[in-house]
Amino acid sequence: MTTGKTGGTTGDTTNGATGDATGGATGNLRTLTITRPDDWHLHLRDGDLMAAVLPWTTRCFARAVVMPNLRPPVTTAAAAAAYYERILDALHPDVDFTPLMTLYLTDTMKPAEIERAKAQGLVVAAKLYPAGATTNADAGVTDLARARPLLEALAACGMPLLVHGEVTDPAVDVFDREAVFIERHLRPLVESMPDLKVVLEHVTTRQAVAFVEQGPPTLAATITAHHLLLNRGAMFQGGLNPHFYCLPVLKREEHRLALVAAATGGSPKFFLGTDSAPHPRAAKEAACGCAGIFSAPVAIEAYAAVFEQAGALDRLEGFCGRHGPLFYGLPFNRGTLTLERRACSVPSTVPDGAAGDLVPLAAGSSLRWSVVAPPAGLIRGD
Ligand code: DOR
Ligand code: ZN
C-alpha cells in the first residue's frame, strides 16, 4: 500500500451511518493506493440488469464471486459456464475482470456435478442456501444431513462451501436467525468436517464474529459495506426505508460494532464481500419489498469510510485485496486502485437496463473517499 499526505478534509461520511470520522493514525492521508480489490460475494443477475450493473463492479474489482441464485438457479457446471460466457459477453472488451463462478446446492444435486465443475475450472465454490432463506432460495437445501455427500465432494476437491447462515424456522425471530443457525447447524458441521473450507457469508452479529474468530483456519467470513455502515435503526428512521432491507437483516448497534472491529482488526479470516444485490426500484418500493441492497456503485468508497472511522486505513488493503485470495488459494491481483480523500456524490438512482432504475446504497449522499479514474490495472495490458 502506498499513501500520500494530506491537506485538509472533505465531505460527509455516510448515509445514516453512526459516528463521525475520527482520523486516528491514518487520518491524515490524502491518497491511498491498494492492490486492486476483489468482491467475494456479488449478485450480478442476468440479461439487461446484469449489463447495467456490471460496470459498477468492474470499475474497482478485478474478480468477483458471482452468486448463483438466478431463476432458474445455477445448479450445473454447464449452467455456470453458460452464465460465465454471458458475463464476458456483457463486459466492455477493454475491461479486465474475471467472474469466479459458484454452484447452487440443491437436495437433488449429485456429487459428480461438483467434480465436473472442479474439472471445468470456472467454478470456485458452492453456495448453501437453506431453502426459503432469501431471494430465490426456494430451490435450496431443505436438510443439511441430506447434503452431506455434496459437502464431502467439496472437501475432497478443496472447494469452499459458501453459507447463507440463517435458519428458516418461522418460530425463530428474524433478528436471531443467524445466531441460531450457527449453533444448530454450522458449529456441528465445522466440527465434523475439518477438511471443508467454509465461508460464513455476510456476517451480521457478534456471535458470528466470535464463531469465526474462534474457529479453525478453514473457516472465514465476508462482511458487507452496509452491515458495517448501518444498524437496524436505519430501516425505520423517519419512516419505513425499503432500500435498507436485506437478508440477513441489519442488526443492533452492538453487532455493527463487532463487525467493524472484525473487518478493521487485520485478521485474515475476514474479507470483503459486498452482497451487492440490485432489485429494480419498483420491486423494493412495493407492498412486499425484495431483500437486497445495491452497493456496487459505492462499495469501495464505503469500506474506506468505515476503515477511516476506525483509524485503520492501513488495513484496508488486507481486507479488500489479500485475505480473500489467501483463503481461496488464488493469486493476488497485479493492478492497483487509488482512492483520494475527495468527496464523492452518490447518485439518487442509476438505470436498471430496462425502463426503471435502481437506488444505490447511500443514494443522494456524499462519501469522503473517491476512486481516482481510471483505476490502474483496469484496462487490459496495464
Ligand atoms: O439481501 C439479500 N439479497 N440477501 C440475500 O441473501 C440475497 C440477495 C438477493 O439475491 O437479492
Ligand atoms: Zn448474497
Which residue has 469500506 as its cell numbers?
Answer: 303
pLDDT digits over 138-186, tens only? 999 999 999 999 999 999 999 999 999 999 999 999 999 999 999 999 9
Is the CB–ligand 1 distance for residue 135 below 6 Å?
Answer: yes
pLDDT tens per residue across span 229-258: 999 999 999 999 999 999 999 999 999 999
Nearest-atom number in ligand 1 for the CA of 69 is 10
pLDDT digits (tens, 9 = 90+) for 77-106: 999 999 999 999 999 999 999 999 999 999
User: Is there an atom of ligand 1 within 6 Å of 185 CB?
Assistant: no
- Please check whether residue 335 is in contact with residue 315, taking contact to mean a CB–CB distance below 8 angstroms: no
**Cα-atom radius of gyration of the chain, to the nearest Å?**
19
Pocket lining: 163 vs ligand 1, CB cutoff 6 Å: no
How far is the centre of ligand 1, averaged over its atoms, from the C-alpha of 207 (Å)?
Answer: 21
Q: Measured from the CA of 279, which atom of ligand 1 is nearest?
A: 11
Domain range list for the chain: 26-381
> What is the distance in A from the centroid of ligand 2 to the CA of 308?
25
What whole-number distance in Å separates Cα of residue 339 and Cα of residue 318?
A: 15
Residue 313 per-residue DSSP state: G
| All cell numbers assigned to 287 | 407492498
Give alpha helix (H) positions in 184-269: 187-192, 206-214, 225-229, 253-264
Q: Is the CB of residue 119 less than 8 Å from the CB of residue 157?
A: no
Helix and strand numbers, DSSP H then E, in the chain:
13, 16
- Distance in angstroms (rounded) separating the CA atoms of residues 182 and 178: 6
Nearest C-alpha neighbor of 276 from the set 126, 104, 98, 55: 55
42 lines ligand 1 (CB under 6 A): no
Grid coordinates standing for 320? 479488500
pTM confidence score: 0.92
Q: Which residues are catalytic?
A: 275
Alpha-carbon dihedral of residues 198, 200, 201, 206, nearest 10 degrees? -160
Question: What is the CATH code of the structural domain delimited by 26-381?
Answer: 3.20.20.140
Q: From ligand 1's centre to the CA of 230, what distance in Å? A: 17
